[in-house]
A and B are shown apart, each in its own frame.
Chain A
């Protein structure tokens, strides 16, 4: 698993979080919208950002950690360059999405919620992206691949790996 690279991200984190302070008032209920923005921007919630939010909103760090780990959209480790999500909603499950997830884990040798050591891939499970007509689906950086099969997944992975060589 990748550890967060403290030095390189801190330079960008502080100005971004501070820019959020202009937009959001110092009210506790703004914690989740602000975390959303940080997650969206950096792909995870850096520790530095948690500290800044804690001071600004007057919420203990432990409580912020509690909120981050409670909601599945927030992560403490960076997502991979190619973030792959497999839909495990019921409609996709019934059409065999578990097999796609199993194959993905087998090929990348990581579990769901983890990122490969080289930072290239991360796997997530999502519950319903809403494209049930195309079930089963997986997404790569938000792009939807419908009517997926194990072969289709292999093909997509091979293409990505070859393009990186």
Chain B
């Protein structure tokens, strides 16, 4: 338990100490080596890199350099990432055995290790973070602390204005004033549907009842999305602080974070953060001496996509099967154990403290007319710069894919972008200039969703993609209502027929009819949005569906039953790369001969296709 004076002292002293993290001109002989410890970099041995740095520094008796673990820097494609501050040198794809050289050359001799410097897509060598195109169009609010602070040290969070918003709220503002600030900022729920956050808080506050709850939805189920995970891993205190602020605003003294068990690092850091906040008396009884009590508990999700739906999530916290409830009543009226409950998503919470500190006018000055602020996207798939990006609302898809994402690899063409995961839709080339906000995306048949943004190149089959999403929905449907349970299964069967070359034109008609019925008749968001991937692909890639149904042809070669891979003799230069990579030795020919594919052996895995430098392989 610390006093407010002590808290202020920590902030002041620590801020001075950490100035070199954000100020490249900091006048100090100290250096900080930041090593990314997000899930991506951790999977490629960043903890080992951190250990090596510490060991070598100790051996060489260097005492002005500290090695710090941080959250995600965002550019996961270049991981593991090491950044040295204050000079802001960006080393990419560092291996544990590179540590020795970095210490020797960079720290001792004061020169850069050229071979490890990050290269931009145009081949230009990049010295610091700001020079990368990837970061130029980004604006970091929710990710402000990710990659800057050590997420396992509360003092570092406090140094960068941490818990200042909570202090202000508890000591200076009334509940209604807090709600007004959030309402005026224009913040909308970042979980997908985009309900105005301030309105939600107001409704929950207005509900009668002594006991109320605050819940954080960290059940990020959209496959290929990792925004919430990165925030929890890189800046867990931001979420705790916002939950406490929400608790004060609506009159709740208890919060739950429902987080996926598949995110062990996020869970671990949340536990540490809660413990540290409790030790400081920032969570618990009588916070800052104001008489306000607030506790937070973690609940683990056990792997069910539907639990991202708010009422299913509540059922799961209560220990039951995660089946959605019929709405209304909404959780704001009847939520956890029948009590009024406020549910917001991780990214929504990550914006709250900033809005309180910098004012609603500042926040609403960013973004478009009806979508304020920024949005974090997990950019993945066939794009050069895979990673986490935060852009102001209204940024176009083209800017994200080409300026930030660095375009499509292997000289391929952009075919479609998928937003909103299994509930969203595909956006084709002609809509690349659509500004990203809630309304525009809805208009073109997709949705904002939680922030998964998967890019697909021209080798992808859209019918297979629709099938992929339906497989997901079928296995994740909770089974409570018939349209979703049986309807999605029937849709999947039709798509399987089309992909195996047994479909006909009537199947496309049946698909469309089923889709509309499921949308209208399902109980919850999962069912209502399940047909979206099919509807949007049908809208923009109808010709491809017809090719599958009528000509029995899959031009992308993904539907194996219909495809036959052949080598174009005119284009083949006999380099043998395809042969080298074929896992089943199905390619025949020697030396500089033109290669042939033995169709009896070929498993149509497409490895040869991706490895041919001359684009000589096709169907």
Which A residues contact B (CB, under 8 angstroms)?
A: 27-33, 35-36, 66-67, 70-74, 88-96, 98-99, 103, 126-135, 137, 144, 146, 149-151, 154
Contacts and interface: CB of A to CB of B under 8 A. Distances in A.
16 contacts: A32-B319, A36-B300, A73-B303, A90-B381, A90-B421, A95-B382, A127-B221, A128-B222, A129-B262, A130-B229, A133-B40, A133-B77, A133-B79, A134-B40, A134-B76, A151-B583
A154 B226 contact: no
A70 to B, nearest CB: 4
Contacts of B605: 99, 103, 150
Interface of B: 39-40, 43-44, 76-79, 221-226, 229, 261-263, 299-300, 302-305, 316-322, 378, 380-382, 386-387, 418, 421, 452, 454-456, 460, 468, 472, 478, 581, 583, 605-607
B319 A29 contact: yes
Nearest to B321: A70
A107 to B, nearest CB: 11
Given A32-B319, A67-B320, A130 B261 contact: no
A99 B452 contact: no
B41 to A, nearest CB: 8
A35 B319 CA distance: 10
Nearest to B76: A133
Contacts of A74: 302
B303 A133 contact: no
Q: 4 tightest A-B contacts by CB?
A: A133-B76, A89-B223, A91-B380, A71-B302
B10 to A, nearest CB: 32
Contacts of A99: 605-606
A84 to B, nearest CB: 16
A130 B223 contact: no
Contacts of A150: 583, 605, 607
A78 B468 CA distance: 28
Nearest to B263: A130
Contacts of B43: 129, 131, 134, 137, 144, 146
Contacts of B319: 27-32, 67
Contacts of B606: 96, 99
Contacts of A89: 223-224
A128 B225 contact: yes
Contact of A151 (B77, B321, B581): B581
A2 to B, nearest CB: 21
B302 A132 contact: no
A128 to B, nearest CB: 5
Nearest to B422: A90
Contact of B418 (A32, A90, A144): A90
A137 B79 CA distance: 15
A92 to B, nearest CB: 8
B472 A132 contact: no
Contacts of A128: 222-226, 262
Contacts of A134: 40, 43-44, 76, 79
A93 B39 contact: no
Given A72-B303, A133-B76, A151-B607, 13 more contacts: A36-B261, A67-B321, A71-B303, A72-B302, A90-B418, A91-B224, A127-B223, A128-B222, A130-B229, A134-B79, A135-B381, A137-B43, A150-B607
A44 B41 CA distance: 30
Contacts of A131: 39-40, 43-44, 76
B305 A127 contact: yes
B434 to A, nearest CB: 20
Nearest to A29: B319
Given A135-B386, A154-B583, A130 B302 contact: no
Contacts of B583: 103, 150-151, 154
B503 to A, nearest CB: 20
B380 A29 contact: no
B449 to A, nearest CB: 11
A94 B456 contact: yes
Contact of B381 (A71, A72, A91): A91
A33 B299 contact: yes
Nearest to A106: B603
Given A72-B303, A93-B468, A135-B386, A149 B607 contact: yes
A133 B229 CA distance: 14
Contact of B302 (A32, A103, A154): A32
Contacts of B381: 90-91, 94-95, 135
B321 A90 contact: no
A146 B455 CA distance: 19
A132 B262 contact: no
B40 A132 contact: yes
A126 B418 CA distance: 20
Nearest to A127: B223
